[in-house]
Structure 1
Amino acid sequence: MNVAAITKLSIAMAIFGSIGFFTIHTGIPAVELVFVRCIFATLFLCAMWFLTGGHKTEAWSKKEVLQTCLCGIFLVLNWVFLFKAFEEMSISITISIYNLAPIFVLIFGTLFLKEKMTIQGLLATVVCFIGSVLIVGIENFQSIHQLMNSGFFWALLSALCYALTMITSKTVQNLSPYSMTFIQTAIGIIMLLPFCDFAVFNGLSTSNWIYIVGTGLIHTGFVYYLFFDSIRSLPTFLVSVLTFVDPVVAILLDIVLLSFSPTLLQALGILFIFGSIFYTVRPRKQVAG
């Protein structure tokens, strides 16, 4: 195993686990927050790219640049939907649904990559769905209006886009993590500029700006550099397992700092989801022939 890559991804996931806590203290809506994150991250990554001399040795490929742009679209949508979900639901509930992404990767592999769906994978998908119902609350599934207001769809869309980000990013092997990530965040600036309401930045406190800058430089620039630098050197199952560091940190912060207290059914739903995902992505011993 690549110890350096494992360490980088673990650190990235641990830091990203605090994104929900930072988000709710920024004082601005999802679209504007992602827009600012993209600006700070693009500047940070461009500066690091030049300072490290990476711009002198960059191996540009039109195909990989286009693949990176597509990955960037999914990544930015993932952020917007995740922050919209944070506005409607607790961090723990949002993160639990968001981490259905590995199950979606399994489903996409079956649908588009002609990978065989195993009985274990099908069972995990069903159990995860049951867990989602328990987390959000059965009463919220009685009408589309209730479900939309619960933030469930935003979290689910975020998980879908995160899964697509994971799949498309694996196709890029030659672009450096710096250039790959700043292309994606630059795409985010272009995508979100027409939809931003700049009036929301009026009257923000110093504390608000500290959290905003933190999400841009740390959670976006630094974390995604570590993320994309590490996943290309690790097998898919290990990437999926290490992403569990993110929800563990997020839920602990929600409980300790924001006094989140899940109901019995919500706690059962969280266990269903993470138990099924871990069962799905864990490495399996090869049977000798």
Structure 2
Amino acid sequence: MWWIFALLSALFAALTAIFAKMGIKNVDTDLATAIRTVIILILAWGIVFFKGATKNISLLTRENLIFLCLSGIATGLSWIFYFKALQAGKVSQVAPVDKISVAIAVILSVIFLHEKISPLGIFGVLLIISGTILMIYS
């Protein structure tokens, strides 16, 4: 079932790139990021309230909060740089280069989370990195 959610994530990430490129024409990218963030905030909290998940707030630990805050900072910085890249470049180049985050995430998961990666997985990461380099120079 996880792969269905992952495919949906990929679909919406692709739509994000297309809609963002259309929406940032002649607009400051930081303003565009702020507007997008407000929409995401409303959507995310709407889902939390709809599901009744607010009752779980008390279960959050200090460690949960620290890492969720760090994740939020990383997400915000990612969006800021993504919008700047989209405004300066073509979606057909920016979106694939942005996806080198997949290879970086795998590498970091091995280093920090001690996840195992198979030789085939290593080959896949190398292909992603190679493809990214090709997209930069295409």
Task: Judge same fold: TM > 0.5, yes or no.
Answer: yes
Task: Output aligned runs, 1:198-217, within 5 Å.
Answer: none
- Aligned position for 2:132: 132
- Deviation track 1:57-95 (CA, whole Å, cap 9, x = no partner) reads 442222211110011111111111111111122111112
1:13 alignment partner in structure 2: 10
Using the alignment, how far apart are the partners of 2:95 and 2:80 within structure 1?
14
The 3 A distance-change label for structure 1 pair 90 and 46 is same
What letter is aligned with 2:68? T
Relative contact order, CA 8 A, sep 6+: which one is greater?
Answer: 1
Cα distance in 1 between the residues matched to 2:63 and 2:13? 29
| Contact 2:93 2:135 survives alignment (8 Å) | yes
Number of matched pairs: 134
Identity, in percent, stands at 17
Normalised TM-score (structure 1): 0.40
- 1:52-201 matches, within 5 Å, as 52-58=51-57, 59-113=59-113, 121=122, 124-125=125-126, 127-137=127-137
Distance 1:132 1:48 in 2: 35
Structure 1: which 5+ runs fail to align? 138-265, 267-289
Report deviation, 1:22: 0.8
Structure 2: any 5+ residue segments left out of the alignment?
none
Structure 1 Cα separation of the partners of residues 131 and 56 of structure 2: 48
2:4 partner SS:
helix
| Higher helix residue share | 2
State whether structure 2 residue 3 is matched by structure 1 residue 30: no
User: Aligned-pair distance for 1:123?
Assistant: 8.4
Q: Distance in 1 between matches of 2:79 and 2:104?
A: 17
Shift in Å, 1:17 = 1.0
Post-superposition CA distance 1:24-57 (Å, at most 9, x none): 2213232111111111222232233223322234
Distance 1:20 1:60, change over 3 A: same
User: Aligned ranges for residues 233-248 of structure 1 at < 5 Å?
Assistant: none
Secondary structure at 2:22 match in 1: coil
Cα distance in 2 for residues equivalent to 1:119 and 1:98: 24
Structure 1 residues 12 and 115, CA, compared in 2 at 3 Å: closer, same or farther? closer
Superimposed CA distance per residue, residues 183-221 of structure 1 (whole angstroms, 9 cap, x where no aligned partner):
xxxxxxxxxxxxxxxxxxxxxxxxxxxxxxxxxxxxxxx
> Structure 2 CA distance, aligned partners of 1:116 and 1:56?
35
TM-score normalised by length of structure 2: 0.76
Structure 1 124/71 Cα, relative in aligned 2: closer, same or farther at 3 Å? closer
* RMSD value, Cα: 2.7
Secondary structure of 1:25's aligned partner: helix
CA distance in structure 1 between the aligned counterparts of 2:113 and 2:123, rounded to whole angstroms: 16
* Cα distance in structure 1, aligned partners of 2:17 and 2:107: 27
